[in-house]
Amino acid sequence: MRMTVALTALVVGFAMAAQVQPSRASEGPWCSHYFGTDYTENCSMRSFDMCIAETRGAGGTFCSPNPRYHAVAVERAAHRRQIAAPHPM
């Protein structure tokens, strides 16, 4: 009985792990690159100025556009697009 429960839990765990997608929430339009003892890339920068501030003072660093970042267009709410009706007299 215990073996069946453990095996079922293991199969469910593997099935859930297979459904996991990598998070893109931290992807930003700019990447900071660090060259030191190893290469490190941080692509969570929301602006070029933020990237420059992050890399300032560290030798062997630079900023570049993030090739994996795809901006999502946000439409304005429909109520903002309505044309104001003339006021009745």
pLDDT under 50: residue ranges of the chain: 21, 24
Entry pTM: 0.51
Question: For the segment 15-31, what is each residue's pLDDT rounded down to a tens digit?
Answer: 555 555 455 457 899 99
Containing 53, the helix (H) or strand (E) segment is helix 48-55
Q: What is the pLDDT of residue 12?
A: 60
C-beta of residue 44 within 8 angstroms of C-beta of residue 27: yes
Contact between 51 and 29 (Cβ < 8 Å): no
